[in-house]
Amino acid sequence: MTDAAKLTEEFGCLVFSDKIMRERLPKDIYKAVHKTIERGTHLELDVANCVAAVMKEWAIENGATHFTHWFQPMTGLTAEKHDSFISPMDDGTIIMEFSGKELVKGEPDASSFPSGGLRATFEARGYTAWDPSSPAFIKDGSLYIPTAFCSYGGEALDKKTPLLRSMEALSAEAVKVLHLLGHEEVNRVNTTIGSEQEYFLIDKDDYKMRKDLLFTGRTLIGAPATKGQEMEDHYFGVIKPKVSAYMHDLDEELWKLGIPAKTKHNEVAPSQHELAPVFETANIAVDHNQLTMEVMKKVADKHNFACLLHEKPFEGINGSGKHNNWSVCTDTGMNLLDPGKNPGENIPFLVFLMAVISAVDDYAPILRLSVASAGNDHRLGGNEAPPAIVSIFLGEELAHLLESVEAGEVYKGSGKVQMAMGAQVLPHFTKDNTDRNRTSPFAFTGNKFEFRMPGSSVSVANANIVLNTAVAEELSKIYERISAYKGEELTEKVMEVLREELLAHKRVLFNGNGYTEEWVAEAKKRGLANLKSLPEAMPYWISDESVELFTKHKIFTKEEIFSRYDILLENYSKSIHIEALTMQEMVRKDLTEGLVAYQKDLTKELVQKKSLLDGACGEHELGILKTLDTASAEMSKALSKLEADTKIAEEKEDLLDQAGFYEESILKDMDKVREYADEAEALIPDKYLSYPTYGQLLFSLR
């Protein structure tokens, strides 16, 4: 069997896919399940019983002995509880059973997961509910069933439930608009996502020797290596053999799980890499990205690597993001963000483009908040990632198109431009309708938008919940303004509304360099928010505007909104608190041990030189000792302040006040400690340190 044939056979072999259901389920049952997936209709218990029986047999054939309801609580990770298929008989034997009731519903302990006050500790019951739109799969000998997670009272305690709600809300509003515009054949509109995943690979043995990496995911101290990314030689460079072997195995494991991993390459920073999948429906794409992160770590472990998904694991070099490529497609195959050959006449495209522009402008603060975290706040605005100011890049062609809309003129288009590369032997091809702008948080890239702000470690569910809901709201507003018109009057009214929307929201459009101070000043003039941290953005989440948006479209109840407010603030403060404690322990024990040992040996050497040289002293060694003494003294002062402020933070009761104190005081204290710790570390030979340095961590893989 060729490698290509093997890949074709093995892709999705561990997935209870549509193909498997079509082959194994009775026709009427398959049609019922397919209708549920395509239309979002309710699934009856008798259908679930039949699906469960077939699913169990298929799983057992593929080596599964257990099943688990796999869900995504507000921890940001996934959760699972495994039960075996076995059921004991009176004669001492067993049978393998799995009912529709077990498929459809599970009962994990809801009190042990973050609920933001929705559940008291003694209120333990929660439910997981099968999501038939995301296929079950087999991993590590268990059948994994993607599920939603809710409390006994029905409140969403996860990320999947509101994502599904937002997808339905966007579909409902989009279908109304499309029917009005003459596309009555459309029954459903789906959002699709392609999540580019950046990550670092380092030696696992080195990883285990760093308390900061073990406990927090990032290095809290560390002098820079003599070489970083300044030579620009790592990006798209030759992949090292050990890393290539890892990527090969990772692809194979992901393909078996039906995850369409497509692209792999070296990223900008040393030891940094990227994996990009093919686009999928948003719900499945989010599930697959969560699974991808798990598999990345698992495969890395087999190769004696540690896979780092933190947004800023190393100071002084680029951090890692997760670019969220977002588009909107109908069930008839129309990409609503594809300009087509004549974008000026493509009314659906213009409507949906303007809905996105309006949504990003109106709800920029909560879109910014959707990607905020203690880790990602280190990355945004650091001239390595988009700025914290939310803006939209459209490119030259769409900019000209919107100028025509604003002027009320017919857009004639710029025509296709052929690339002239100066050598006849090179093939002829036409330029895309837009350039790429890596400094833009929200960039149009041909037939989709690339939201570049999400961090590498987080679920992209949050960003897509906000984006879907905001666009649904703008489509609803547009529909209300044009629904009374038909024929030519409708077209005229649409263009009038689009022109008015553009005038109201064009402040968010920016095609320039988002890294410059000039843009920061210009954005301020335009009234665009520059929310640099999660605590700054949090009040927008519980604003009247936000509550109205999410409750109107039934994405969250008011209680669910406020519960997430508490959870986000608690997670932010807890993350920095753990970092502060880890830094104190690492500096006081690990760094200080090496510092004292080196000072002791230097002092001995100076005494010996003084004796041998009749009182002359080693100026070089003495200079190092003086620098270390100064750094040590200042580091001790900074540590004392960090310790005192950490205790103050622990006592604060108001969650926003506490998070703000961690951001404004604790992080600054930590920066001060690091300043002197790194100064000392840079002078201490590696043999005195109990942990690997940046040079070892970033350049040890061959």
Between 55 and 125, residue with greater pLDDT: 55
Between 128 and 425, residue with greater pLDDT: 128
Let me know: does 448 contact 433? Beta carbons within 8 Å.
no
464-482 per-position pLDDT tens digit: 999 999 999 999 999 999 9
Locate 185 and state its tokens.
């054949």
Tokens 């495994």 correspond to 82
Give the 3-state secondary structure of 32-66.
Answer: HHHHHHHHCCCCCHHHHHHHHHHHHHHHHHCCCCE
Mean pLDDT of 495-500: 96
Cα distance between residue 681 and residue 695, in whole Å? 12
Residue of 666, 659, 463, 665 whose CA lies nearest to 569: 659
Of 236-240, 430-434, 491-495, 621-625, the poorest mean pLDDT is in 430-434
Cα distance between residue 562 and residue 569, in whole Å? 11
Locate 506 and state its tokens.
């064009």
User: Does the pTM of the predicted model rise above 0.85?
Assistant: yes
Q: How many CA atoms lie within 13 A of 325 on its CB side?
A: 15
pLDDT for the residue numbered 420: 65
- The CATH label, of 3.30.590.10, 2.40.50.140, 3.40.50.720, 3.50.50.60, for the domain at 166-219+231-417+426-556 is 3.30.590.10
Locate 290 and state its tokens.
């969560």
Between 385 and 125, residue with greater pLDDT: 385
Element containing residue 623 per DSSP (H, E): helix 619-651
Cα distance between residue 482 and residue 393, in whole Å? 27
Residue 671 — φ and ψ, nearest 5°?
-60, -40
3-class DSSP state of 510:
coil
Does 43 score more than 80 pLDDT?
A: no
Let me know: does 161 contact 148? Beta carbons within 8 Å.
yes
147-179 per-position pLDDT tens digit: 999 887 888 989 999 999 999 999 999 999 999
Does 512 score more than 80 pLDDT?
A: yes
3-class DSSP state of 152:
coil
189-222 per-position pLDDT tens digit: 999 999 999 999 999 999 999 999 999 999 999 9
The one-letter amino acid code at 252 reads E
| Bridge partners, 451 (sequence order) | 324, 442
pLDDT for the residue numbered 439: 84
Q: How far apart are the first and last CA of the chain?
A: 32
As to burial, measured by CB atoms within 10 angstroms (0-12 exposed, 13-18 middle, 19+ buried), residue 652 is middle
Q: State the pLDDT confidence band at 2, using cuts at 50, 70 and 90.
A: low
3-class DSSP state of 123:
coil
Does 422 score more than 70 pLDDT?
A: no
What percent of the chain lies above the pLDDT cut of 70? 92
Does 624 score more than 80 pLDDT?
A: yes
Does 616 score more than 60 pLDDT?
A: no
Tokens 């995911």 correspond to 217
pLDDT for the residue numbered 6: 78
337-353 per-position pLDDT tens digit: 999 989 999 999 999 99
CA torsion, ordered 303, 309, 311, 314, to nearest 10 deg: -30
pLDDT for the residue numbered 46: 86
Mean pLDDT of 373-402: 90
pLDDT for the residue numbered 87: 80
Cα distance between residue 371 and residue 463, in whole Å? 6
Element containing residue 197 per DSSP (H, E): strand 189-203
Residue of 334, 386, 402 whose CA lies nearest to 192: 334
59-106 per-position pLDDT tens digit: 999 999 999 999 998 888 899 999 999 887 767 666 778 888 888 888
Let me know: does 274 contact 28? Beta carbons within 8 Å.
no
Cα distance between residue 5 and residue 1, in whole Å? 6
pLDDT for the residue numbered 493: 96
Q: What angle do CA 174, 175, 180 make, to 5 degrees?
A: 100
Q: 533-570 burial, b if ≥16 CB within 10 A, otherwise e?
A: bbbbbbebbeeeebbebbeebebbbeebbbbbbbbbbb
Residue of 314, 343, 463, 348 whose CA lies nearest to 402: 343
Residues 6+ apart with CB under 8 A from 1: 9
Cα distance between residue 270 and residue 54, in whole Å? 48
The one-letter amino acid code at 136 reads A
Cα distance between residue 221 and residue 203, in whole Å? 18
Residue of 401, 428, 431, 398 whose CA lies nearest to 416: 431
Number of helical H runs and strand E runs in the chain: 24, 17
Query: 3-158 — its CATH code?
Result: 3.10.20.70
Cα distance between residue 229 and residue 211, in whole Å? 25
pLDDT for the residue numbered 564: 95
As to burial, measured by CB atoms within 10 angstroms (0-12 exposed, 13-18 middle, 19+ buried), residue 81 is middle
Does 415 score more than 90 pLDDT?
A: no
Does 118 score more than 70 pLDDT?
A: no
pLDDT for the residue numbered 424: 60
Of 93-102, 246-255, 374-383, the poorest mean pLDDT is in 93-102
3-class DSSP state of 143:
strand
650-685 per-position pLDDT tens digit: 999 999 999 999 999 999 999 999 999 999 999 999
Domain map (residue ranges) of the chain: 3-158, 166-219+231-417+426-556, 572-699
- The CATH label, of 1.10.150.80, 3.40.140.10, 3.40.50.620, 1.20.120.1560, for the domain at 572-699 is 1.20.120.1560
Locate 60 and state its tokens.
């057992």
Residue of 435, 442, 434 whose CA lies nearest to 387: 442
Does 432 score more than 90 pLDDT?
A: no
Cα distance between residue 494 and residue 488, in whole Å? 10
What percent of the chain lies above the pLDDT cut of 90? 74
Does 302 score more than 60 pLDDT?
A: yes
pLDDT for the residue numbered 597: 96
Cα distance between residue 378 and residue 365, in whole Å? 18
